[in-house]
A and B are shown apart, each in its own frame.
Chain A
Amino acid sequence: MVPPAPPQPKAAADFFPHRDLLGVAGLTEAQVNYLLDKAEIYAAQNRRVVKRTNLLEGRTLVNLFFEASTRTRTSFELAAKRLGADVINMSAEGSSIKKGETLIDTAMTLNAMHPDVLVVRHQDSGAVALLSKKVDCAVINAGDGSHEHPTQALLDALTIRRRKGKIAGLHVAICGDIVHSRVARSNIQLLHIMGAHVRVVAPPTLLPAAAANLGVEVHHDMRRGLRDVDIVMMLRLQSERMQGSFVPSVREYFHFYGLDYEKLGYAKPDAMVMHPGPMNRGVEIDTEIADDISRSAIAEQVEMGVAVRMAVLDALSARLPNFAPMNAQ
Chain B
Amino acid sequence: MRPQAFINARLLDPASGLDAPGTLVVVDGKIAAVGRDVRADQGMEVIDCDGACLAPGLVDMRAFLGEPGFEEKETLATGGLAAAAGGVTTVAAQPQTDPIVDEPALVGFIARRARETCVVNVVSMAAITKGLRGEEMTEMGLLHEAGAVAFTDGWQPVANAQVMRRAMSYGTSWDLLIVHHAEEPALARGGHMNSGEVASRLGLKGIPPMAEVIMVERDLRLAEMTGARYHAACLSTGEALESMRRGKQRGLRVTCGAAAHHFALNENEVGEYRTFAKVSPPLRSEEDRAAVVEALKDGTIDVIVSDHSPQDQESKRLPFPVAEFGIAGLQTLLPLSLELVHNGSLPLLDLLAKLTINPARLLKLPAGQFARGAPADLVLFDLDAPWRINEKALKSKSKNTPFDGRPVQGRVLRTVVAGETVYEQEGA
Do A and B pair up? The answer is: yes
Residues of A within 8 A of B (CB): 203-205, 220-221, 243-249, 251-252, 255-256
Judging by beta carbons under 8 Å apart, are A205 and B136 in contact? no
16 residue pairs bridging A and B, Cβ less than 8 Å apart: A204-B173, A205-B169, A205-B170, A220-B172, A244-B135, A244-B138, A245-B163, A248-B136, A248-B138, A248-B140, A249-B139, A251-B139, A252-B139, A252-B142, A255-B142, A256-B141
Judging by beta carbons under 8 Å apart, are A245 and B136 in contact? yes
Distance between Cα atoms of A255 and B172 in the complex (Å)? 17
Distance between Cα atoms of A323 and B226 in the complex (Å)? 53
Judging by beta carbons under 8 Å apart, are A245 and B166 in contact? yes
- 0 or 1 for each of B165-178: is its CB under 8 Å from A? (1 = yes): 01001101100000
B54 interface residue (CB < 8 Å to A): no
Judging by beta carbons under 8 Å apart, are B173 and A203 in contact? yes
Residues of chain B lying within 8 A (CB to CB) of residue A220: 172-173
Give B145's nearest chain A residue, CB to CB.
A255
Residues of chain B lying within 8 A (CB to CB) of residue A249: 139
Residues of chain B lying within 8 A (CB to CB) of residue A204: 169-170, 172-173, 226
Residues of chain A lying within 8 A (CB to CB) of residue B172: 204, 220
Return the contact of A244 from the options B130, B141, B142 (Cβ within 8 A). Answer: B130
Judging by beta carbons under 8 Å apart, are B173 and A252 in contact? no
Chain B CB within 10 A, most for which of A204, A221, A256: A204
State how many angstroms separate the Cβ of A45 from the closest Cβ of chain B. 47
State how many angstroms separate the Cβ of B9 from the closest Cβ of chain A. 44
B137 interface residue (CB < 8 Å to A): yes
Chain B CB within 10 A, most for which of A247, A248, A256: A248
State how many angstroms separate the Cβ of B137 from the closest Cβ of chain A. 5
Distance between Cα atoms of A252 and B140 in the complex (Å)? 8
Judging by beta carbons under 8 Å apart, are A248 and B137 in contact? yes
Residues of chain B lying within 8 A (CB to CB) of residue A256: 141, 173
State how many angstroms separate the Cβ of A209 from the closest Cβ of chain B. 9
Distance between Cα atoms of A203 and B140 in the complex (Å)? 12
Interface of B is mostly: helix
Distance between Cα atoms of A252 and B137 in the complex (Å)? 11
Interface of A is mostly: loop
Residues of chain A lying within 8 A (CB to CB) of residue B173: 203-204, 220-221, 256
Judging by beta carbons under 8 Å apart, are A252 and B141 in contact? yes
Judging by beta carbons under 8 Å apart, are A251 and B170 in contact? no
State how many angstroms separate the Cβ of A254 from the closest Cβ of chain B. 11
Chain A CB within 10 A, most for which of B129, B163, B173: B173
Residues of chain B lying within 8 A (CB to CB) of residue A245: 136-137, 163, 166
Residues of chain B lying within 8 A (CB to CB) of residue A247: 170
State how many angstroms separate the Cβ of A245 from the closest Cβ of chain B. 6
Distance between Cα atoms of A243 and B138 in the complex (Å)? 9
Judging by beta carbons under 8 Å apart, are B170 and A203 in contact? yes
Residues of chain B lying within 8 A (CB to CB) of residue A248: 130, 136-142, 170
Give B225's nearest chain A residue, CB to CB.
A209
Residues of chain A lying within 8 A (CB to CB) of residue B141: 248, 252, 255-256
Residues of chain A lying within 8 A (CB to CB) of residue B136: 243-245, 248
Distance between Cα atoms of A226 and B140 in the complex (Å)? 22
Given contacts A243-B136, A247-B170, 13 further A-B contacts (CB under 8 A): A203-B170, A204-B169, A204-B172, A220-B173, A244-B130, A244-B136, A246-B166, A248-B137, A248-B138, A248-B139, A248-B142, A249-B139, A256-B141
State how many angstroms separate the Cβ of B203 from the closest Cβ of chain A. 41
Distance between Cα atoms of A205 and B129 in the complex (Å)? 15
**Which residues 110-160 of B have a CB within 8 angstroms of A?**
129-130, 135-142
State how many angstroms separate the Cβ of A222 from the closest Cβ of chain B. 10
A-B complex: 10 closest residue pairs judged by Cβ atoms: A244-B136, A220-B173, A252-B139, A248-B139, A204-B169, A205-B170, A205-B166, A252-B142, A248-B137, A244-B137
Distance between Cα atoms of A245 and B136 in the complex (Å)? 5
Distance between Cα atoms of A70 and B163 in the complex (Å)? 34
Known interface pairs A203-B173, A205-B170, A246-B166; A251-B142 also in contact (CB < 8 Å): yes
State how many angstroms separate the Cβ of A212 from the closest Cβ of chain B. 12
State how many angstroms separate the Cβ of A204 from the closest Cβ of chain B. 4
Distance between Cα atoms of A221 and B163 in the complex (Å)? 22
Give B169's nearest chain A residue, CB to CB.
A204
Give B166's nearest chain A residue, CB to CB.
A205
Distance between Cα atoms of A245 and B163 in the complex (Å)? 7
State how many angstroms separate the Cβ of A13 from the closest Cβ of chain B. 47
State how many angstroms separate the Cβ of B151 from the closest Cβ of chain A. 11
State how many angstroms separate the Cβ of A80 from the closest Cβ of chain B. 42
- 0 or 1 for each of B202-240: is its CB under 8 Å from A? (1 = yes): 000000000000000000000000100000000000000
Residues of chain A lying within 8 A (CB to CB) of residue B163: 245
Distance between Cα atoms of A203 and B226 in the complex (Å)? 12
Give A206's nearest chain B residue, CB to CB.
B170
Residues of chain A lying within 8 A (CB to CB) of residue B138: 244, 248
Give A209's nearest chain B residue, CB to CB.
B225
Residues of chain A lying within 8 A (CB to CB) of residue B137: 244-245, 248
Give A255's nearest chain B residue, CB to CB.
B142
